[in-house]
A and B are shown apart, each in its own frame.
Chain A
Amino acid sequence: MTRAGDDAERSDEEERRYVTPAGDDAERSDEEQRRYVTAPRTEIAWQRLSPRMLLIHPVHELLRELPLLIGGLVLGSTTGNQSWTVAVLALSAVVGVARWFTTSYRIEADPESGQVQLRAGLLHRKVLSVPRNRIRSVQTDARLLHRLFGLAVLRVSTGQETRGEHGSGAFELDAVRVEQVPRLRAILLAESPQPVDAATAEPVASSTVLARWQPSWLRYSPLSLSGLLTMAAAVGVIYQSGAFGPLQHSRLAKLGLEAAQRLGMAATVAVVAAVVLVASVVLAVLRSLVTYGNLVLWRRADVLHLRHGLLRLRERTYDMSRLRGGTLREPLLVRIFGGARLDAVMTGVHGAGESSVLLPPCPHSTAKAVLTGLVGDPDVVAGPLRGHGPRAAARRWTRALGLPLLIGAALAVLTVLKGTSVVPLWLWTAWVAIAAWCVLLAADRVAALGHRVDSRWLVMRAGSLERRRDCLATAGIIGWTVRQSPLQRRAGVATLVAATAAGVKRYPLIDVPEDQAWAVAAQASPWVADSIWARR
């Protein structure tokens, strides 16, 4: 884990001191030195996780092996010998209990040179070590069962593993008592304990609440795809568990088939579509409610806290000194209801996905207000943008309409050559619908495109289906790329990419007029404006 910095994705202040051709070697020797200095280290006892996990682990193990269990049940019922089921149950229980006995952790005392270590693994023993001075954030996560037993999973991240926090390399203490969490968090982050009222886990008075979930936020979720995805996942699980075969021959399936025959093809499709639609809407709303109901975002001094989840409670902290801006995301289906999402742009936090979410779909004004509070400049969040001119607009139009126009021409030629019977009317209707959709899309994309730059903030907006407004602190920009394809050269535009260590790392500004591209970079970064190439 500490070696994750070895590949290209070196993040953060990691290794900044070791600027040599063989930077890694230098670091290694430095670490060895450190190890040498603290060599007569007193052995610190390994600690076990909460013994309550003895009850939780077997259940989780059982859930994880659900397909196996169903297989055991099926095998048991076909062979008439239920010992298979018992065997699977017993195995799960043993593995679960063994997991607790084989996992332990310890925290070395010195916050500078000490390490946090986790020893785990039933068959493959492994020890994860994280230097304490590299710990960037501590997150907690409590699934339903954990909460029933008053436990929480504590996840430590160094900000280096950008490959997802649930990977095998993740450092997590699964699980510790909820009462221990504030103390552990304070120890790990080497700060004073956060005075959170333990009984209610509500933020105390000295902190300001930035946003609190409202039931009205649910209106943004019905049309999201999450409901459909949930259903697809459920079907996948059923299929994988082998329950599909028995289901195929069951009475339920027969009844369904008979009903379908009675209704006829068209009606059946309509009914199934309606059922899927209703189910997906209900699931999407439920999912949103369960994941984000009771969300609270609050700020205390220089730390942002985010907590959400009705059943599975998740809590994150973000260090404001590592904040490099924010992204206002407006997917089309959220935007038409006047909503927006808010992502944090942080160093050491993966830019895409759940780990950087500050606000789920919520009213536009809320997202804006929170972002304004974070960046401290209302113009950055809502101020007017500078468009990219007619050539960029023309490129949006040709991209969106090129293919529909080609298809339309082909259809017209076919009609003229072979007569109207070859191209049925519904094909033309569909073509008109698609072309109209493309026109709207292109118009929306043209309207979205724009940027705004001053010496402190770079703002860029683009997109229609997934519109985003990235607000990036110019101090965090550590590289500029101007990229031109042959078509862009002909049109006299370029894609300007701001590189940063935070968020998604790569923030492109598409189709800026050629002559403006470097001007934007120079305005944002003094080291570009002062460079010998700009002054020559």
Chain B
Amino acid sequence: MVDPAHPPSRRAPLRWAIGGVVPWLLLAAGQVVWIAFDRRLLWLHIVIAVVTVLGAAISLSVVPLWRYRVHRWEIGPQAVYTRTGWLVQERRIAPISRVQTIDTYRGPLDRLLGLANVTVTTASSAGAVHIAALDVAVAEHLVAQLTDIAAIGGEDAT
């Protein structure tokens, strides 16, 4: 199988970087509060701080770029095909004739950056196809295209 053709939006790494670093920032804030109240066990503070900085750095630089290299999507005349993940990678294909719903999701961060996520669900909970971090225009076009194709086929969805 050839990999799907289209990469996500160019702003996708930025979105993943911000989304990935936020939990680490919260952790860092917690540590600042902790150190303000309790200065015993200095070595423990240092160890946790190093881990936090490392984690933040990786989720800020390595993960988004890795993700951007892996994530791909494409719509064929019969099927939707995606590749996702970074460490653990997944390729998923679902037939458009069995598609049940096509959902678009835009979180606050997505709206800030002009991105949209499209989820294509089928009758199986193990078969939903997620296409993450697309430009809004691309996502709208994609949804329209999928709806058109899906409306033609009239097969049984199970």
Contact = CB atoms under 8 A, between A and B. Distances in A.
Nearest to B92: A481
A501 B123 CA distance: 5
Interface stretch (A137-145, A404-412, A525-533): A525-533
A485 to B, nearest CB: 5
B102 A20 contact: yes
Contacts of A506: 124-126
Nearest to B86: A486
A164 interface: no
Interface stretch (A6-14, A28-36, A149-157, A376-384): A6-14
A305 interface: no
A528 B76 contact: no
Nearest to B151: A19
Contacts of A521: 93
Contact of B101 (A24, A483, A531, A534): A24
A187 B25 CA distance: 61
A354 interface: no
Contacts of B117: none
Nearest to B3: A533
A238 to B, nearest CB: 40
A482 to B, nearest CB: 5
B87 A23 contact: no
A16 B157 contact: yes
A483 B90 contact: yes
Contacts of A13: 123, 156-158
Contacts of A484: 88-90
Contacts, number: 149
Interface in B114-158: 121-129, 143, 147, 150-151, 156-158
Nearest to B88: A485
A479 B100 contact: no
Interface in B73-93: 74, 76-79, 81, 87-93
A528 B97 CA distance: 13
B52 interface: no
A501 B143 CA distance: 23
B78 A19 contact: no
Contacts of A14: 100, 123, 157
B41 interface: no
A489 B91 CA distance: 13
Contacts of A20: 101-102, 147
A21 B95 contact: no
Interface in A169-207: none
A450 B79 CA distance: 28
A19 B100 contact: yes
Contacts of B125: 8-9, 505-506
Which of B81, B127, B158 has the largest count of A CB atoms less than 10 A from its CB? B158
A517 to B, nearest CB: 9
A480 interface: yes
B3 A505 contact: no
Contact of A527 (B78, B91, B102, B128): B78
A502 interface: yes
A345 to B, nearest CB: 12
Interface size, B (range)? 35 or more
State the main secondary structure of chain A at its contact with B.
mixed
B89 A483 contact: yes
B100 A499 contact: no
B2 A21 contact: no
B1 interface: yes
Contacts of A8: 121, 125, 128
Which of A18, A322, A499 has the largest count of B CB atoms less than 10 A from its CB? A499
B102 A21 contact: yes
Contacts of B124: 478-479, 499-501, 505-506
A347 interface: yes
Contact of B91 (A24, A481, A525, A534): A481
B88 A483 contact: yes
B9 interface: no
A531 B123 contact: no
Contact of A531 (B78, B126, B127): B78
Which of B76, B87, B97 has the largest count of A CB atoms less than 10 A from its CB? B76
Contacts of A483: 88-91
Nearest to B95: A527
A481 B88 CA distance: 12
A527 B156 CA distance: 14
B21 interface: no
Contacts of A478: 94-95, 98, 122-124, 127, 157-158
Contact of A21 (B3, B126, B147): B147
Contacts of B90: 481-484
B3 to A, nearest CB: 7
B98 A480 contact: no
B4 interface: yes
A500 B74 CA distance: 22
15 contacts: A10-B121, A11-B123, A12-B123, A13-B157, A15-B157, A16-B100, A18-B101, A19-B99, A478-B124, A479-B93, A482-B91, A482-B92, A500-B124, A527-B97, A534-B2
Interface of A: 8-16, 18-21, 23-24, 322, 324, 347, 476, 478-486, 489, 497, 499-502, 505-506, 518, 521, 525, 527-528, 530-534, 536
Given A13-B158, A14-B123, A18-B101, 11 more contacts: A8-B125, A10-B100, A13-B156, A13-B157, A16-B123, A19-B99, A19-B151, A476-B158, A479-B93, A518-B1, A531-B81
Counting from the closest, the 10 A-B pairs by CB-CB distance are: A479-B127, A499-B127, A16-B157, A506-B126, A501-B123, A23-B101, A499-B126, A499-B124, A19-B150, A479-B94
